């Protein structure tokens, strides 16, 4: 995260989402927010509290309980000149909208040969470790990152969240914006005042190091940073790359870092099989195999259908900072 001399305020990730949404609503009266309980309730996490009173029911729309139409109607609005920001209350509820996101929004520009675009943001809280059990804990990025035409962003610091959400709202194409709910209130950071954007598709080196590259995103990113800082005391130097954008993916930053450290650990909460780490691993193997001094390692969620509700089940699903530290140390010593 870049330092700044501009006046900054200390925000949580949740505050950052709210600030970006509020500024977008003020900046462009074509911007509308639609989702379940986004109006009178102000969203289940209280992100849009007060928006209904400030912007009115025409622009802050409490939708019927039907996710396919939340996205489908947002697509129609986007095609007719509005700038919809659709909310899926929990990422686990996005499945009914899969057809609209993958079959419609992501293909509209392509299938119309550029005649129509679909400037649409779909925000949704994802991720576990919050006692959310099977249907309030999932990571969905791997289900969508296979799809050209879609952009996927998963920032995890307040600065990145605000800048990338603003960029997503201004983007002329559909963006799936993932907010790790465990970081909503637990992560705080300085954010410059006023509207700014961070380019979609750029990773960020959150900590420089020389012996191992760790690529991560979401809640795990903060744990990876903690583990890396702990290892500094042992004289182990870890570079931590925050992916931030999942699609498009920043090959350059990943490869530059891996060519320097010659070792790669990928950490994500989503399960391993066919996950984001699989693509990163394949890409690095294709592009930088002879620069590697160790096999690529992935530390991911277990290959089970979901995160259990019971505390031991949830803890076993989430990757502990300790496991990350061990994996980093092992790789550094390889």
Partner 1 sequence: MAKTVTARAVLDRGGLTDEQLVAMLWNMLLQRQIDNRGFQLNRQGKIPFALGSEGHEALQAGAALAFNRGSDVLVPYYRDLGLVLGVGITPLDLLTNMFAREADLSGGRQFPNHYTARAHGVLTISSIIAAHCTHAAGVAYALTYDGKPGRAVLCSTGEGATSQGEWHEALNFAAIHKLPVVFLVQNNGWAISTPQSQQMAIVDVADKAAGYGMPGMICDGTDPVATYRTMKIAMDRARAGGGPTLVEAKCYRFLSHSTDDDDRTYRDQAEIAAQRADDPLPKYERVLLEAGIIDDVGLAAIKAEVLSLTNDATDQAEALPYPSVDDMATHVYDGPYEPWLE
C-alpha 278/C-alpha 321 separation (Å) is 21
Within positions 278 to 307, which residues make up the interface with partner 1, using CB under 8 A? 283
H or E element: which one contains 77?
Answer: helix 67-79
Tell me how far, at minimum, the Cβ of 284 lies from partner 1, in Å. 13
Within positions 54 to 93, which residues make up the interface with partner 1, using CB under 8 A? 58, 63-64, 66, 68-69, 71-82, 84
Residue 148 found at the interface with partner 1 (CB under 8 A): yes
C-alpha 328/C-alpha 112 separation (Å) is 47
| Residue with smaller CB distance to partner 1, 112 or 320 | 112
| Residue with smaller CB distance to partner 1, 2 or 113 | 113
Which residue stretch of 39-47, 145-153, 176-184, 202-210 sits at the interface with partner 1 (rule: CB under 8 A)?
145-153
Within positions 106 to 135, which residues make up the interface with partner 1, using CB under 8 A? 107-117
Q: Is 136 a catalytic residue?
A: yes
Beta strands in the chain (DSSP E): 8-12, 31-35, 60-62, 83-87, 121-126, 151-153, 175-180, 188-192, 204-207, 212-216, 238-242, 245-247, 264-271, 297-301
Q: Among residues 174, 158, 141, which one has the least CA distance to residue 274?
A: 141
Q: At what angle do helices 219-232 and 321-333 cross, to 10 degrees?
A: 50
Residue 21 found at the interface with partner 1 (CB under 8 A): no
Tell me how far, at minimum, the Cβ of 269 lies from partner 1, in Å. 24
Residue 96 found at the interface with partner 1 (CB under 8 A): yes
Q: At what angle do helices 251-261 and 276-288 cross, to 10 degrees?
A: 60
Tell me how far, at minimum, the Cβ of 76 lies from partner 1, in Å. 2
Q: How far is CA 7 from CA 38, 66, 185, in A?
A: 30, 42, 22
Catalytic residue among 131, 136, 180, 268: 136
| Residue with smaller CB distance to partner 1, 114 or 194 | 114
The catalytic residue positions are: 136
Residues in touch with partner 1 (CB under 8 A): 30, 58, 63-64, 66, 68-69, 71-82, 84, 96, 99-100, 103-104, 107-117, 148-149, 151, 172-173, 283
């Amino acid at each position: 995260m870049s330092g700044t001399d501009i006046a900054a305020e200390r925000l949580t990730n949740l505050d950052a989402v709210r600030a970006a949404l509020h500024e977008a609503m003020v900046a462009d009266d074509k911007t509308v927010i639609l989702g379940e309980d986004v109006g009178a309730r102000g969203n289940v996490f209280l992100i849009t509290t007060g928006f209904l009173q400030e912007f009115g029911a025409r622009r802050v729309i409490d939708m019927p309980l039907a996710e396919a139409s939340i996205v489908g109607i947002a697509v129609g609005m986007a095609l007719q000149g509005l700038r919809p920001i659709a909310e899926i209350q929990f990422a686990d509820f996005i499945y009914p909208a899969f057809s609209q996101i993958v079959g419609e929004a992501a293909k509209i520009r392509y299938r119309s040969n550029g005649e129509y675009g679909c400037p649409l943001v779909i925000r949704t809280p994802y991720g576990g470790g919050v006692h959310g059990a099977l249907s309030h804990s999932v990571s969905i990025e791997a289900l969508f990152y296979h799809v050209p035409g879609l952009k996927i962003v998963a920032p995890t610091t307040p600065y990145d969240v605000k800048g990338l959400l603003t960029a997503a709202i201004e983007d002329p194409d559909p963006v799936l914006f993932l907010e790790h709910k465990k970081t909503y209130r637990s992560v705080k950071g300085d954010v410059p005042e006023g509207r700014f954007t961070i380019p979609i598709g750029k990773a960020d080196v959150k900590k420089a190091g020389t012996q191992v590259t760790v690529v991560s995103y979401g809640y795990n990113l903060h744990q990876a940073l903690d583990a890396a800082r702990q290892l500094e005391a042992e004289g182990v130097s870890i570079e931590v790359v925050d992916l931030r954008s999942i699609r498009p993916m920043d090959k350059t930053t990943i490869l530059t870092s891996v060519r320097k450290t010659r070792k790669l650990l990928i950490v994500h909460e989503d399960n391993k099989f066919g996950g984001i780490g699989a693509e990163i691993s394949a890409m690095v193997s294709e592009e930088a195999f002879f620069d590697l001094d160790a096999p690529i390692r992935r530390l991911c969620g277990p290959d089970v259908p979901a995160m259990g509700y019971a505390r031991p089940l949830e803890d076993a699903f989430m990757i502990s900072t300790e496991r990350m530290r061990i994996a980093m140390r092992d790789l550094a010593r390889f």
